[in-house]
Amino acid sequence: MNETANRHTEENEISLKELILKIQERGMYLWSRKRVIFLAGILGGLLGLAYAFIKKPVYTATTTFVLESGDKGGGLGAYAGLASMVGIDLAGSSGGIFQGDNILELYKSRVMIEKALLSPVNADGQKGLLIDRYIRYNRLREKWEKKEATRNIVFNPEPHRVKDSLMAEMVKDIHENILQVSKPDKKLSIIKVETRSKDEQFSRLFNERIVKVVNDFYVETKTKKSQENIAILQHQTDSVKAMMEGAIYRSVEVADATPNLNPTRQVLRAPALRSQANAEANKAVYAELVKNLELAKISARREAPLIQVIDEPCYPLKRDKTGKAKGMVIGGFLLGFLTVCYLILQSVFKHILSE
């Protein structure tokens, strides 16, 4: 048993010794090729410097805002039964479609990005669509000129197969490379919208447009049901008011038509009494409708989400560009490292072939 253990120990010592010798051998080989590695590092540094000169800077526009969802009824519970008689749900009319973080998904939708791209802007003193700015700085027209189907393409809201295909490509690029929406802190309701592109004006303009388009759509959708109920209730209120005023006018008209009413002919009082009764009934209905209308307006204000902008983009935008020194260091290190790896592999293959 002792002899077997000693033999294993000697084999392990020999293996470790061989490993150290091989490492020394590779180190000596690399030292002998130090000029090649040095030249590779210099060449990599020059390439990194050229890259720093050629690469265009990336401009980042950032908007942060606070989103506070509307109240779903709060202290109006006492009026919920009364309001429900005319179709107003004060207890839960704000729920359902968009809750909390769902606004983040709106920023990723194709419809919202298309609306932002097709919005009119004024850049460099020229009026046009934001999508034209995107096409210009990406030089897409030069590529489209080579094909007959895309040579004279014009972007507008009308559907078209080729246009929709090109729009889908642009939306994908914006979604993957330009637009980024996040919540810096999951516990807070602060939302951060960033747009990064090689065109400073496009970064800011698109950031402003996408924030406006999405937030307006979000508020409109959250309050749509309440606004529809208010419109219906307003129409009913106006109708009852018109009927009440008509009944009052007819009552006065009947009274004027019979100035010297014969006390023995009570039947002549019937039209006037009927008009007065209608006016009183319409007055009571009108009072309830006005009360319910005001309650509905209060409910709509409570349900409306609050979107308060904290920071918005302003010139000059944040500029990300690879520095000359940084480009030289990174380029030199990368090419030098790759050269070392190549020399080591070359040495290993030569050693294997020699055996």
DSSP state, 11? H
What are the pLDDT digits (tens) for 146-188? 888 888 888 877 777 888 889 999 999 999 999 999 888 877 7
Res. 200: pLDDT tops 50 = yes
**Of residues 354 and 104, more confidently modeled:** 104
- As a whole number, mean pLDDT of residues 210-224 equals 87
Same domain, 253 and 160: no
Per the structure, the complete domain to which residue 282 belongs is given by: 227-303
Peptide bond into 316 cis (omega under 30): yes
- Tell me the backbone φ, ψ of residue 263, rounded to 5 degrees: -60, -25
Same domain, 202 and 238: no
Same domain, 298 and 315: no
- Tell me the backbone φ, ψ of residue 266, rounded to 5 degrees: -65, -20
**Of residues 198 and 246, more confidently modeled:** 198
74 conformational bin, left if phi > 0, alpha if psi -120 to 50, beta if neither:
left
Res. 82: pLDDT tops 50 = no
pLDDT confidence bin for 86, thresholds 50/70/90: very low
- Tell me the backbone φ, ψ of residue 109, rounded to 5 degrees: -75, 150
User: Does the residue 66 lie in any domain?
Assistant: yes
Q: Which pLDDT score is estimated for 205?
A: 93
User: Does the residue 9 lie in any domain?
Assistant: no
- Tell me the backbone φ, ψ of residue 87, rounded to 5 degrees: 90, 15
For residue 93, the number of C-alpha atoms closer than 13 Å in the C-beta half-sphere is: 28
CA distance 306 to 189: 11
CA distance 228 to 331: 63
Q: Which pLDDT score is estimated for 290?
A: 87
Kindly report the pTM of this predicted structure.
0.65
282 conformational bin, left if phi > 0, alpha if psi -120 to 50, beta if neither:
alpha
Q: Which pLDDT score is estimated for 269?
A: 53
User: Does the residue 331 lie in any domain?
Assistant: no
pLDDT confidence bin for 69, thresholds 50/70/90: low
| Tokens 């990194």 belong to residue | 48
User: Does the residue 143 lie in any domain?
Assistant: yes
Q: Which pLDDT score is estimated for 4?
A: 54
| CA angle, residues 76, 77, 78, in degrees to nearest 5 | 90
Same domain, 316 and 207: yes
Q: What percent of the chain has pLDDT over 90?
A: 14
Q: Which pLDDT score is estimated for 79?
A: 47
Same domain, 282 and 202: no
User: Does the residue 91 lie in any domain?
Assistant: yes
Range name among 28-37, 87-96, 143-152, 175-184 with the lowest pLDDT average = 87-96
Res. 78: pLDDT tops 70 = no
